Amino acid sequence: MAAQANASRVWIGLDDTDNPDSGCTTATFDDLLKYISHIDGFEIIERRLVRLWPFAERRTRGNGALACLISCSKESIPNLEKLLSNFFDELVLDLNVEMNDMTSPALLYSYEELNEDLYWEAVRQKVNLNVRRNSLDSVKILSLDSDWGLIGASSAMAWKSIESSTWELIAWRFSDNIGSQREVTSSVVKKMESLFPDTFVNRDPTADKGLIAPRTPCPVLYGIRGATSQAVLSAHEWLQSNQDTEKCERYAIHRTNQLSDDHILGYSSATVLTKPVETKGAHSSLDVFSHGRKITLVAFKEGGDVNRLLRRLIPGDRINWLGLESPDGSIHLERLKVESSLPRIIGRPICCNDKTMRSAGSNQPLRCLSCQKIVEKHWLFEDISLTGIELVDGWAEPTASQRRHLSKPLLLGSPIKFANKVV
């Protein structure tokens, strides 16, 4: 281990280098690591793909940032710094940043571990750019006047993987293929899923559609998510050996915070206060009493069963919910459950002419004012209808293609357990 005594640990982060028409920060970061790999004593300890707050103002699709932890020999540090600086200068030229206000790249590096709070802030709420910049004293920042990328880059550096953190293998296309349709069929993905059960969110079974290949003109061929690095690697090798699947130019395995539910503040129970309001675009919302205050819960059309279940609620229903607070203060639901132990009171029994039977007072029976029939005082109950809604332990969730990268699928465990992990 003599080499280690002479080695420095370096955290490197990169974000905001892509634009909607081309490029992908994942591929740019891979280019960077390839250059760094020529440095003496270089070793990658961990590569990270980190997803951040879904409502961030400046975000790319999926709001992901890249980071890595490397070890390199102390003598090589000046070379490393020079390489990072040159790489950033070339990147700015390549991106034509001055002509393009969609990107504001930042490349950061640090010889000290960053405070994990920087990650938690950025995965759960809006980050103020000036505050963030001022909190990075020990970090070397390569950026331009517009440096939004430092939020994602620093947050990805500050994230700490844990044993349950997931993995994603990203395979990139040969440059000649970029822009053409990807050759990764739904049936091959289906077979891969059955052969490698430790991979997940590869397909949307409700639409029988593969989810691993993006539909944008970016350089990514596919991303395979899974519980272990071996699982994603084996699945990738199998896919590449399949003669109908497009061959990749290169690939890399990342540790990720996907499926962690880290963006969710916690699990809550609530009592429904109002009837659902259905808005244009098939969204729905209602007010509940939760955490000692009135909160508006919103479900979107894309929420699928969450939206369907919300629309069947009536005042008085007891529910459990998971979601995240949007900038307007409402909660955007990610999962929803009705407490089935309490039946709904729908009213007194009905008699002649659809008239409700009434009681003359306490200890008095119910009477029909038309036919004078008398019955013992009681309420009518009903159970909420859950037909047509798919539930796991009572919980509804969006379909796989509509779930956020950060969200834990119900089949992988109880949402309460994960949401309570850190509160």
**Rule CB under 5 A: which residues touch Zn ion?**
351-352, 368, 370-371, 373
Tell me the closest approach of the beta carbon of residue 369 to Zn ion, in angstroms. 8
CA distance 12 to 29: 10
Alpha carbon 311 to its chain's center: 24
On whether the CB atoms of residues 380 and 346 are closer than 8 A, the answer is yes
Q: Which is nearer to Zn ion, 38 or 355 (CB)?
A: 355
Q: Which is nearer to Zn ion, 131 or 371 (CB)?
A: 371
Q: Return the SS3 of 310.
A: helix
Q: Which is nearer to Zn ion, 342 or 371 (CB)?
A: 371
Q: Which is nearer to Zn ion, 3 or 380 (CB)?
A: 380
CA distance 97 to 81: 22
Q: Which is nearer to Zn ion, 96 or 370 (CB)?
A: 370
Q: Which is nearer to Zn ion, 282 or 371 (CB)?
A: 371
Tell me the closest approach of the beta carbon of residue 375 to Zn ion, in angstroms. 10
Tell me the closest approach of the beta carbon of residue 343 to Zn ion, in angstroms. 25
CA distance 18 to 66: 12
Q: Which is nearer to Zn ion, 277 or 371 (CB)?
A: 371
Q: What is the identity of the amino acid at 84?
A: L
Tell me the closest approach of the beta carbon of residue 346 to Zn ion, in angstroms. 19
Task: Please name the residue ranges forming H helices in 167-209.
Answer: 186-195
Task: Please name the residue ranges forming H helices in 297-414.
Answer: 305-311
On whether the CB atoms of residues 123 and 51 are closer than 8 A, the answer is yes
Tell me the closest approach of the beta carbon of residue 367 to Zn ion, in angstroms. 9
Tell me the closest approach of the beta carbon of residue 271 to Zn ion, in angstroms. 34
DSSP state string for 258-307: TTS-TT----EEEEE-S--EEPGGG-EEEEEEETTEEEEEEE-GGGTHHH
Q: Return the SS3 of 264.
A: coil
Tell me the closest approach of the beta carbon of residue 370 to Zn ion, in angstroms. 5
Q: What are phi and psi of 125, to 5 degrees?
A: -160, 175
Tell me the closest approach of the beta carbon of residue 355 to Zn ion, in angstroms. 7
Nearest to 127 by CA among 152, 158, 146: 152
Q: How many CA atoms lie within 13 A of 75 on its CB side?
A: 5
CA distance 400 to 86: 41
Tell me the closest approach of the beta carbon of residue 349 to Zn ion, in angstroms. 10
Q: Return the SS3 of 405.
A: coil
Kindly tell me the sign of the dihedral angle through the C-alpha atoms of 300, 305, 306, 308. Answer: positive
Q: Which is nearer to Zn ion, 93 or 352 (CB)?
A: 352
Please, is 66 exposed, middle or buried when counting C-beta atoms within 10 Å of its C-beta (0-12, 13-18, 19+)? buried
Q: Which is nearer to Zn ion, 195 or 369 (CB)?
A: 369
